Amino acid sequence: MERDSLALLVRQSIAGHESEPATSVFEDVHVLTENVSAANLVQAMTFYGSALGVGCSHCHTIGKWASDEKPKKAIAREMMRMNGVINGQLLKSIPGLRSPNPSVNCVTCHRGQVVPARSLSGTR
């Protein structure tokens, strides 16, 4: 609920600028900087929160979106970079995969939980 209502507020605040680059609409964008619109950045943040089962306040200080005071925000950035390396380099180098464009995302490991499962029984 928090995530959806805050995402709506952010969308309203960028009205008229949705298709502009996220880096020109928002401050302190470090990842998702190439060819990502402001609207797509909001959509991606909503997806990431859902993938981990958290609200915006998990990584952000509400109302101070550019603030880096929460360590979880830096962790999230590094996880996004890791995901880019996995999809952009590692998976493409594995021969014999069924998909010509294999990919993973946050849900692959987290499945709606902050801490991903470390066993088949789901223990964290």
pLDDT number for residue 120: 80
Task: List the chain domain ranges.
Answer: 2-110
Q: What is the mean pLDDT of each run of 10 residues along the chain (124 residues)?
A: 90 96 95 94 95 95 94 96 95 91 93 88 66
CB 10 within 8 A of CB 3: no
CB 75 within 8 A of CB 30: no
In CATH, which superfamily holds the domain spanning 2-110? Answer: Photosynthetic Reaction Center, subunit C, domain 2 (1.10.468.10)
pLDDT number for residue 122: 61
Which among 28, 61, 26 has a CA at the least distance from the CA of 41?
26
pLDDT number for residue 123: 64
